[in-house]
Amino acid sequence: MNLKQRTFLLVTGASRGIGREFAHQLSGQIKAKGSVVALLGRNQALLEEAKTQILNSEPNLAVHTYSLELSTARTEDFTKILETARGGNGDFERAIVIHNAGTVGDTSKRAKEIGDTLFLQQYYHINVFSAIALNCEFMRLFQGIPKLVVNLSTLAAIAPISSMAHYCTVKAAREMYFRVLATEEAAPETLVLNYAPGVIDTQMTVQVQREAHDPAIVAMFREQREGKTMLTPAQTTARFIQVLEAQKFKSGDHVDYRDETY
């Protein structure tokens, strides 16, 4: 994949963790004049930090930040952000969207205890509905140019994990949406990748370690963190870029950090 083309890149959850590192490292690959980077999150101060970090190494990029609450975001919010970030310049050679924003849900609850519909609505809105709505607007506004659509997936999308009933169900639904998209849209014009980044030292795994009801899950995260075998955002992002460069995946594939076939 030629990342040196004039590119529009949008990353959700770019204020911290994996999304911030994806935005940073991908921006370092996208050097063509006229490229645009759009960073979404809620915390404006952290988004501005992420922007500064990118501009320090890539001063020629146009970097925009947008604060948006994904639990209530509407289709029109995504349209507005995409149109504003794209600006008058529809002249991109490639558009990339990284659907990274995500939340782990309430890991203190067992599957039989997660029936609160208000919580479920908000939780699914953040993790599934917003990703689908953003993606539909992205596909519409960038029709006619090559697109790369990346979903931050996880082992939890394809395997049941105790304490993670919320998380497993949204991640499975979200991955299936992107797999259907891949079956309907021709590659390589639209290339879809479900990337499972491994277990990463971010606020998300700190939260699981603090709150999970299953002691085995808590112990697993603690051992990885204390034993320093937990991956860093930088490590998984570097692997993601390798996967893109090697491009051995088929559109829609689930590619895990540790899967050496990719």
Ligand X SMILES: NC(=O)c1ccc[n+]([C@@H]2O[C@H](COP(=O)([O-])OP(=O)(O)OC[C@H]3O[C@@H](n4cnc5c(N)ncnc54)[C@H](OP(=O)(O)O)[C@@H]3O)[C@@H](O)[C@H]2O)c1
Residues that bind ligand X (CB under 6 A): 13, 15-19, 41-43, 46, 69-71, 100-103, 126, 152, 154, 196-197, 199-200, 202-205
Q: Give whichever of 92 and 196 is closer to ligand X, judged by the CB atom.
A: 196
CB of 73 to ligand X, least distance (A): 7
CB of 33 to ligand X, least distance (A): 28
Contact 70, 43 (CB under 8 A): no
Strands 147-152 and 7-11: unpaired
Radius of gyration, alpha carbons of the chain = 18
Q: Dihedral, CA atoms, 198, 209, 26, 125, nearest 10 degrees?
A: 100
CA 7, 62, 195, 29 dihedral sign is positive
**Position 144: which residue type?**
G
DSSP state of 72: T
> Which tokens go with 220?
């697993």
CB of 211 to ligand X, least distance (A): 13
CB of 84 to ligand X, least distance (A): 17
What is the rounded CA–CA span in Å between residue 204 and residue 210?
Answer: 10
What is the rounded CA–CA span in Å between residue 208 and residue 249?
Answer: 30
CB of 93 to ligand X, least distance (A): 27
CB of 111 to ligand X, least distance (A): 18
Q: Give whichever of 43 and 121 is closer to ligand X, judged by the CB atom.
A: 43
Q: Give whichever of 76 and 91 is closer to ligand X, judged by the CB atom.
A: 76
Pick from 30, 37, 38, 39: nearest CA to 6: 30
Q: Give whichever of 92 and 152 is closer to ligand X, judged by the CB atom.
A: 152
Q: Give whichever of 15 and 169 is closer to ligand X, judged by the CB atom.
A: 15
